[in-house]
Amino acid sequence: MTEAPATIMLNGKSRKIKQPCSATELLSELGWKPTQVVIEHNGQVIPRSETGAIMLREGDQVEIILPVAGG
């Protein structure tokens, strides 16, 4: 039996994700590679090596951030 989707806050907007869903799976769905971005999960910066181990749950706050041009 598949689990009901969960709703997370992703970059400030509500988004439904399948369950279970790892941070790596979410990135892949969004077209980003783990090496391009950094994830903040419920206020904690996730080391890239641990992205795959992060499972996203109902109500999680997720930010996907990347370096951009700036002064």
Site residues, another protein (CB under 8 A): 10-12, 30-32, 36-38, 40, 43, 45-48, 63-71
Q: Scanning the structure block, which residue is given the tokens 């992060």?
A: 54
What span, in angstroms and rounded, lies between the C-alpha atoms of 37 and 20?
Answer: 21
**How many CA atoms, within 13 angstroms, populate the side-chain half-sphere of residue 33?**
2
* Beta carbons of 39 and 54 less than 8 angstroms apart: yes
> To the nearest whole angstrom, how small is the minimum distance from the Cβ of residue 5 to another protein?
17
* 2 vs 71 by CB, closer to another protein: 71
> To the nearest whole angstrom, how small is the minimum distance from the Cβ of residue 68 to another protein?
4
> To the nearest whole angstrom, how small is the minimum distance from the Cβ of residue 66 to another protein?
5
